[in-house]
Structure 1
Amino acid sequence: MNHTVQTFFSPVNSSQPHNYEMLKEEHETAVLGVPHNPAPLTSTMIHIRSETSVPDHIVWSLFSTLFMNPCCLGFIAFAYSVKSRDRKMVGDLTGAQAYASTAKCLNIWALILGFLMTILLVVIPVLIFQVH
């Protein structure tokens, strides 16, 4: 029988830790799931804009199209609202905001002109029939 002792863990340098300690640290990092590569860890930062909701005014435009549609302003506002919603789905918030602003302006004008036409269509016949 050969009783020679082989030393697997012998310190090479007194300032370096023992090979056993290095293997123990490698085992601990493997158990903890830390990667073995010495490269520094990098992180990716994703910036999410807080104001991602751009109102497209599609319900208001639909109402203007169905009930108050002087000079087809409600229909045009509805078209701009749909364009705004399409731009929002693509991720172009600036374009969506521009189309939504135009739709809002057209809806306001359709509302004002619709009320004026309704008032004139009610007031003028009443005044005409009162005189006679």
Structure 2
Amino acid sequence: MNRTGQPFFSGAHSVVPPSYEMIKEEQEVAVLGAPQSQAPVATTVINIRSETSVPDHIVWSLFNTIFMNWCCLGFVAFAYSVKSRDRKMVGDVIGAQSYASTAKCLNICALVLGILLITVFIIIFATGSLMIFQAVSQLMKDYGGNQ
């Protein structure tokens, strides 16, 4: 066994880069140079689709189904929202947009109709209770004055 004294940590000035052998392929590339063929260079273009965001309005449809389901418009909108989400999962962006557009229109109709009907009910309730209050107070005056 030949033991030579080599330091464990060598300083920065005493580092010598190791010598490498040239591999056969590197020698061939160096000798031949860059490939030069007479054939035209073929290019490949890869179109990467950006993730098209199609809103399916499912939360809005669920809200309309639970709270504003006049004439079942909220439920139908919810069904179209689910169909839109299914089309989006399959990758059919055009079908998903079509169903989402229908769900949006149905949601708008359900919301507007719901707000109008609730407003009408509030007005009818307020005027009805006001009329009842006036009728009762009139009856109290009539019966109170006769005795």
Quickly name the TM-score band, shorter chain normalised.
Answer: 0.5 to 0.7
How far off is 1:43 after superposition?
A: 4.5
From the CA coordinates, give the structure whose radius of gyration is larger: 2
Cα 1:28/1:57, change in 2 over 3 Å: farther
Residues 1:56 and 2:56 aligned together: yes
Mapped partners of 1:128, 1:24: distance in 2? 97
Q: After superposition, what is the alpha-carbon deviation per residue over 1:38-77, rounded to whole angstroms, capped at 9, x for unaligned?
A: 6776543222344611111111111111111001111100
Mapped partners of 1:48, 1:78: distance in 2? 32
SS in 1 for 2:52: coil
> Following superposition, which runs of at least 4 residues in structure 1 exceed 2 angstroms of deviation?
23-29, 38-46, 48-51
Q: After superposition, what is the alpha-carbon deviation per residue over 1:94-131, rounded to whole angstroms, capped at 9, x for unaligned?
A: 11100000000000000001101111111101101112
Mapped partners of 2:114, 2:78: distance in 1? 16
Residue in 2 aligned with 1:26? Answer: 28
TM-score, normalised with respect to structure 2:
0.61
RMSD: 3.1
Mapped partners of 2:26, 2:127: distance in 1? 101
Letter in 2 for 1:68: M
Residue in 1 aligned with 2:87? Answer: 87
Unaligned runs of 5+ in 2: 1-24, 133-147
Residue in 1 aligned with 2:4? Answer: none
Q: Percent identity?
A: 62
Q: After superposition, what is the alpha-carbon deviation per residue over 1:5-55, rounded to whole angstroms, capped at 9, x for unaligned?
A: xxxxxxxxxxxxxxxxxx8652559xxxx9x9x677654322234461111
Letter in 1 for 2:110: A
Unaligned runs of 5+ in 1: 1-22
TM-score, normalised with respect to structure 1:
0.68
SS in 2 for 1:45: coil
Cα 1:79/1:24, change in 2 over 3 Å: closer
SS in 1 for 2:28: helix
